[in-house]
Structure 1
Amino acid sequence: MRADAQRNRDHLLAVAGTIVVEEGVDVSMRDIARRAGVGLATLLRHFPTREALLEALLRTSFEELTARASALEASDAAREALVSWVRECVAWTTEYRGATELMAAAIDEPGSALHASCVTLRAAGARLLVRAQAAGEARGDLDGDDLFALIAMLAWAGDQPALAPRAEHLFDVVASAVLTGAGGR
């Protein structure tokens, strides 16, 4: 890709990221183009669909969360690694309003542009969960699908104005239900 085309693409992603945080994933492509100072055709040349734009936007964050899971996995505290990573995923997902629904739909839809990134993210969390289970620090009847669903559930709750004040408490309740041993979390 030419340097100027890459700069345009990067600029579009930066603007889209800001708008998605402010307004949610349902913001119109036309609004993104307008705020980026380009025509709709320019945006569509780089990202022919909303899903393609969101996949490009979210992929970087998914890669960062996956790398973070790997770093935590290398630590010797399985319980803390799992809780830290889930907390970071919930915080990130809540920041991108509406991403929870996209991720939940994409995980089971191989044709989705977000599918591969979601599967990779789920696998990273599953490794942390399995590690905590092997250490006797997490329930054995949960799997990566359950963990992904719990993250989506907690992020959804944090995204609801009426529930947001209770989000931290709800996180603690869910964490104590997932973890075993003294002290829950």
Structure 2
Amino acid sequence: MNQQETRGQRADATRNRAQLLEVATRVFIAADDEPSMRAIAREAGVGIATLYRHFPTRESLVDAIYRDQVERLTAGARELLAELAPPVALRRWMDLFGDWIAAKNGMLDTLLAMIESGEIAHTQTRSELLAAIDAILGAGRATGELRADVTAEDIAAALIGIFTVARPPQHEARAARLLTILMNGIIAPGR
């Protein structure tokens, strides 16, 4: 096998893994209970062996989804700020946060066990998410568009509360309404 074929196989494997992560995330979001690995493989249109080749255990799949979602949230904050005014970026970021919460609902038992065992560092994730929120808030404070007295911890607590009572996708309209109310409270007076 030549070097170009090896690179092509690696690229295929990377694409397959990314596709499996995307499908698994959708399955976890839609699930009321933790879906089986077979259900995830079936939804992805692959055999169970292919899923296990990429993710040898349920925990490895949950870990990959969790880390992917945290990366999407932290990168999402930067990307949104580069394109949008801080209030709009914050509101769009809240939707990303809602997707993250929804994905966690379908894998909650496994995720909690992994956090308890130390396989996932919850405090590191919390710090990363608070830093993402704070970046958006800081940009909004600098432009005078967002209130100076609102903290990243305030936003995180409010979002957890909102998405606990209005879990997407079943209660998307209610979540959107509550997020609008939250945003109205974050916008700087006179804006």
Normalising by structure 1, we get a TM-score of 0.67
Measure the CA separation in 2 of the matches of 1:69 and 1:77: 12
**Does the C-alpha gap of structure 1 residues 85 and 22 become closer, same or farther in structure 2, counting only changes over 3 Å?**
closer
| Structure 2 gaps, min length 5 | 1-5
Q: Secondary structure at the match of 2:189?
A: coil
Q: 5 Å matches for 1:156-175?
A: 156-159=164-167, 164-175=172-183
Measure the CA separation in 2 of the matches of 1:143 and 1:100: 29
| 1:66 matches 2:74 | yes
Letter in 1 for 2:77: A
1:93 to 97, 100, 116: 100
Pick 1 or 2: higher relative contact order, CA cutoff 8 A, min separation 6.
Answer: 2
Measure the CA separation in 1 of the matches of 2:125 and 2:118: 12
Aligned Cα root-mean-square deviation (Å) = 4.0
Give aligned-pair identity as a percent.
32
Q: Secondary structure at the match of 1:96?
A: helix
Normalising by structure 2, we get a TM-score of 0.65
Measure the CA separation in 1 of the matches of 2:84 and 2:18: 37
Q: Secondary structure at the match of 1:140?
A: coil
Q: Which runs of 4+ in 1 moved over 6 A?
A: 99-102
**Does the C-alpha gap of structure 1 residues 135 and 111 become closer, same or farther in structure 2, counting only changes over 3 Å?**
farther
Q: Secondary structure at the match of 2:35?
A: coil
Report the structure, 1 or 2, having the larger helix content.
2
Quote the residue 1:29 is aligned against.
37
Q: Secondary structure at the match of 2:190?
A: coil
**Does the C-alpha gap of structure 1 residues 99 and 129 become closer, same or farther in structure 2, counting only changes over 3 Å?**
farther
